[in-house]
A and B are shown apart, each in its own frame.
With several copies, the nearest count.
Chain A
Amino acid sequence: MNISSIKKDYLYRLAKQGKRPDGRATSEYRPITIERGVVNMAEGSAMVSIGNTTVLAGIKMDLGEPYPDTPNKGALSTAAELIPLASPDFESGPPRENAIELARVVDRGIRESGTINLEELCIEPGEKVWVVFIDIHILDYDGNLFDACSLAASAALLDAQIPNERFEMGENRPLPVQDPPISCTFVKYNGTIVVDPSLEEDEVAEARYTVAVDKNGDIRAMQKGLSGSFTVDEIRQSIATARQMAPTIRKILEG
């Protein structure tokens, strides 16, 4: 029996008693802190901590061509870098499946919520638009990257200015952003479902479920991951929990 199966056993036994390794209740979120404007060179930035997990999102904007099928809209590109700074398990090099899934889920939440008014980022239809790059660096990995990255991306967008001055196009003005999504992630292990997993819980998780809700409590994006399964009732219950939590988290984000 190796260390990892001892740890698993320990978490399983705790779970049977409805307990989590850090003493939280199954539907209890860790403290969230958000600091905006931490990177001077970025158009916008935010450092977000959920417990000991810390991520930094930065926004950069550049001029580019619109996509052929959306000539009147700016473009959005989201990337997450699991830099080896944050965990001994992250490797340098091109993004791997985990980083790609993470970035795409964050991107979908923001895109489907209409968070950025992309029409306002069109300069010359079919020719020239603003491209918004959201780059997220994981600095300290202690579980639940999906929610931390989603929050950091939203907070950085709320902080961002369109860099008209750098492109000699007049004065900077705020990026048109509204109603970012609130993402809530759950993992399941040995039959228990917990919100906002810690690192240890991420490590033993059999299934993961993320749902992004808007300010009306409507659903904008979801993603089930890992090889475990959920029942329909478990999904419904998780959505309900997420809708309960979202207003509190939204207040921290927008406050």
Chain B
Amino acid sequence: MELIKDGKRLDGRKPDELRPIKIEAGPLHRADGSCYLEWGGNKIIAAVYGPKEAIPRHIQNPTRAVINAKYNMASFSVGDRKRPGPDRRSREISKITSEALENVILTEMFPRAMIDVNIEVLDADAGTRCAGITAAAVALADAGIPMEDIPVACAAGKVGDTVVLDLMGEEDQEGQADVPLAIAPRTENILLLQMDGHLTVEEFDRALELAMNGCQQIATMQREALMKKYQSFEED
């Protein structure tokens, strides 16, 4: 498959162009905070509960809140049915997502508490871990959890020997490298960074630059989604 043709990608995007993204803050009634996110073919929903007493007790930290993110793919969100329940991949993603979010949450305000962050992938089209973190961040803000900054994530990669932003499904499968990145957008501190594939140091630098840029664009959309929800409250 020719992934880049005449400088355009399979879906017509330029190398440094994001897929369409739609963010809605607070679609769920029961959760303390929530977010619905469409990002290319991805559909993600995130919900936050807490802070609440950490249970079972032995997981409590006497000096700060524990962040318990769970990334889960619906069995019908992928080509062949995924068996329900966590597999090794989703457990790794849950772990690094928890760690990335913990960085910005003012956890020391809530000793012995836990904050549950549930991320459900309803429809998957590459980049779900970045989409999940981005949605979770909006849900945390919607829940009023105090944070230093609202984290945001985006991947870059290499396809058809070109470094590109935000891989979609075919690019992820046929591509040469994938670099998911999560940052705190104000400081540009790196909260999550993975890479697999084959990149020269120069290509990696370019990928990091593209992803950083993508993150900043999405950070704006996150803030707009939150503003929209608060405005709609004020209008009520």
Contact = CB atoms under 8 A, between A and B. Distances in A.
Is chain B in direct contact with chain A in the complex (CB below 8 A)?
yes
A64 B30 CA distance: 39
Interface stretch (B2-10, B15-23, B42-50, B223-231): B42-50
B194 A224 contact: yes
Nearest to B116: A84
Judged by DSSP, the binding face of A is: mixed
Interface stretch (A14-22, A25-33, A118-126, A229-237): A229-237
Interface in A169-201: 199
Nearest to B87: A100
B200 A218 contact: yes
A127 interface: no
B199 A100 contact: no
Interface string A213-224: 010011111111
A79 B95 CA distance: 17
A81 B84 contact: yes
A239 B204 contact: yes
A111 B195 CA distance: 12
B194 A229 contact: no
B11 interface: no
Contacts of B52: 88
B131 to A, nearest CB: 14
A85 B31 contact: yes
A81 to B, nearest CB: 6
A137 interface: yes
B146 to A, nearest CB: 16
Interface in B45-101: 45-47, 49, 52, 70, 72, 74-81, 84-86, 88-89, 91-92, 94-96, 99-100
Interface residues of A, number: 67
Contact of A58 (B72, B76, B96, B204): B76
Contacts of B198: 112, 214, 218-220
Contacts of B192: 224
A37 B41 CA distance: 13
Contact of A232 (B77, B78, B208): B208
A56 interface: yes
A227 B103 contact: yes
A239 B193 CA distance: 13
B76 A42 contact: yes
B77 A108 contact: no
Interface in B182-236: 184, 187-201, 204-205, 208, 212
A115 interface: no
B193 A137 contact: no
A35 interface: no
A97 interface: yes
Q: Which of A38, A98, A218, A227 has the most CB of B within 10 A?
A: A227
A178 to B, nearest CB: 15
Nearest to B169: A41
A195 to B, nearest CB: 17
A62 B190 contact: no
Given A108-B196, A221-B196, A235 B74 contact: no
B76 A59 contact: yes
Contact of A41 (B77, B95, B199): B77
B70 A92 contact: yes
A108 to B, nearest CB: 5
Nearest to A163: B79
A222 B193 contact: yes
Contacts of A142: 29-30
Contact of A219 (B72, B95, B187, B201): B201
Contacts of A43: 76
Given A59-B76, A86-B31, A112-B198, 13 more contacts: A40-B125, A41-B76, A41-B123, A42-B76, A85-B31, A135-B76, A217-B201, A220-B196, A222-B195, A223-B195, A230-B193, A231-B190, A232-B188
Interface of B: 28-31, 41, 43, 45-47, 49, 52, 70, 72, 74-81, 84-86, 88-89, 91-92, 94-96, 99-100, 102-103, 116, 118, 120, 122-125, 184, 187-201, 204-205, 208, 212
Q: Which 5 A-B pairs have the closest CB atoms?
A: A58-B76, A60-B81, A229-B189, A42-B76, A224-B193
20 contacts: A39-B76, A41-B41, A56-B122, A58-B76, A60-B75, A83-B120, A84-B47, A84-B118, A86-B30, A100-B92, A111-B196, A139-B28, A139-B45, A217-B201, A218-B200, A220-B198, A224-B192, A227-B100, A229-B190, A239-B201
